[in-house]
Amino acid sequence: MTENSNRETDFAFVTLATTDSYCMGALVVGQCLRRHRTTRQTVVMVSTNVSSQARAALGHVFDRVLVVDVLDSGDQAHLSWLGRPELGVTFTKLHCWTLTQYSKCVFLDADTLVLCNVDELFEREELSAAPDPGWPDCFNSGVFVFRPSLITHGRLLEHARQHGSFDGGDQGLLNTFFSDWAVRDISKHLPFVYNLSAIAVYTYLPAYQEYGHNAKIVHFLGSVKPWNLRSNSQTNQHTNSHLEEFVYQWWMEYSYLHHLIKTMSHQEPAVPSQHAGPKQHVRRCRIDSRIFLITVYALFNITTCKTKLWEEGQVDYLGKDAFDNIQKKLDRFLYL
């Protein structure tokens, strides 16, 4: 084994899903990492209540699906959990420090959308993260570089037990633990484009217009997640046109994957083992059903005012919605 391949299996992207809804997000995280040809391992931590179907789907995309049970994770965690039940998800996230078979990892929230290859993140050290848009002296814990260590894990649990979290979640806890992040070492400040949150688009639109095209990871932080945006009325309330583009992309990835997994489970039960991405599988299972394409396209339009027109049958079949155009648009996206 070369030094290089050692390093590749040493490093992993890690995400977390404790509900089937968050599994939808985790699927997209894993899929995007593959699409952009990561050479690192991919790991998803799920809690015991996640359904077997969701776990199986994740197994098609991630190198490892790790079931974590907070209540079984040792006395210290158990005590902390009992004392502060609101920190349940946070403790589950802290589990990532126990992945000691990897020397370095990048944690990605399940509500992130990876837009390009971001393997260069592994050049950073613990704890590297991007500023939080609400309080830039705090880092946002949706994307961070860390080194698994049982010692650090134990210290984090102890810290949680003693101090709790000032925001009730993992971000407050991690910021008081890695308390010198703001001032100590600028190399641990990830550029904002590695954790671009929608809120920044609202609060500083000119900056988004200037730099937004450099976005590498979009973070749908807040209570509205792409998988909740199902109706036109909801999207109008919560999104703007910039965010719509990313929600659209999220649904493209999700729908593609959903179809692929369904196709594979009918035709090719074997899980793809390569990191090269599922392109070849897609070629073999060439999506030649017009109905499927049109359904997918309609689904993507949930984020735009077009939905209503589709529902009312006012589809521009000969113009921008013509089948050939739809197919081209999808083909471009799916690299068929």
Binding site for Mn ion (CB under 5 A): 109, 111, 142, 221
Rounded least distance, CB 325 to ligand UDP, Å: 34
Greatest C-alpha distance within the chain: 65
Residue nearest to ligand UDP (CB): 109
Give the span between the Cα atoms of 93 and 97, in whole angstroms.
9
63 binds, among ligand UDP, Mn ion, none (CB under 5 to 8 A by kind): none
Q: What binding mask, one character per residue, do residues 202-231 give for ligand UDP by CB under 6 A, x or -?
A: -------------------xx---------
Tell me how far CA of residue 84 lies from CA of 18, 79, 89, 184, in angstroms.
17, 9, 11, 31
Strand order in the sheet with 112-114: 112-114, 217-219, 196-197
Label the pairing between strands 11-17 and 41-47.
Answer: parallel
Is 191 near ligand UDP (CB under 6 A)? no
Rounded least distance, CB 198 to ligand UDP, Å: 10
Task: Identify the bridge partners of residue 17 per DSSP, sorted by sequence position.
Answer: 46
Residues 48-107 that bind ligand UDP (CB under 6 A): 89, 93
3-state percent helix, strand, coil for the chain, nearest multiple of 5: 55, 15, 30
Q: Which is nearer to Mn ion, 109 or 132 (CB)?
A: 109
Give the span between the Cα atoms of 317 and 162, in whole angstroms.
62
Give the span between the Cα atoms of 135 and 231, in whole angstroms.
32
Total of chain residues touching ligand UDP, rule CB under 6 A: 14
Rounded least distance, CB 221 to ligand UDP, Å: 4
Give the span between the Cα atoms of 332 and 336, in whole angstroms.
7
Rounded least distance, CB 240 to Mn ion, Å: 19
Rounded least distance, CB 141 to ligand UDP, Å: 8
Rounded least distance, CB 303 to Mn ion, Å: 19
22 binds, among ligand UDP, Mn ion, none (CB under 5 to 8 A by kind): ligand UDP
Listed ranges 10-18, 125-133, 179-187, 290-298: which one lies at the site for ligand UDP (CB under 6 A): 10-18
Is 22 near ligand UDP (CB under 6 A)? yes
Tell me how far CA of residue 121 lies from CA of 89, 104, 143, 146, 152, in angstroms.
25, 10, 10, 10, 20
172 binds, among ligand UDP, Mn ion, none (CB under 5 to 8 A by kind): none
CB 46 within 8 A of CB 55: yes
What sign does the dihedral 78-81-83-85 (CA atoms) show?
A: negative
Roughly what angle, to the nearest 10 degrees, separates helices 241-267 and 290-300? Answer: 150
Is 282 near ligand UDP (CB under 6 A)? no
Q: Which is nearer to ligand UDP, 222 or 290 (CB)?
A: 222
Q: Which is nearer to Mn ion, 8 or 111 (CB)?
A: 111
Is 287 near ligand UDP (CB under 6 A)? no
Q: Which is nearer to Mn ion, 25 or 278 (CB)?
A: 25
Near ligand UDP by CB under 6 A: residue from 12, 13, 14, 18? 18
Exposure b/e, 259-289, CB count within 10 A at least 16 = b: bbbebbeeeeeeebeeeebbbebbeebebee
Listed ranges 34-42, 57-65, 78-86, 109-117: which one lies at the site for ligand UDP (CB under 6 A): 109-117
Contacting positions for ligand UDP (CB under 6 A): 15-19, 22, 89, 93, 109-111, 142, 221-222
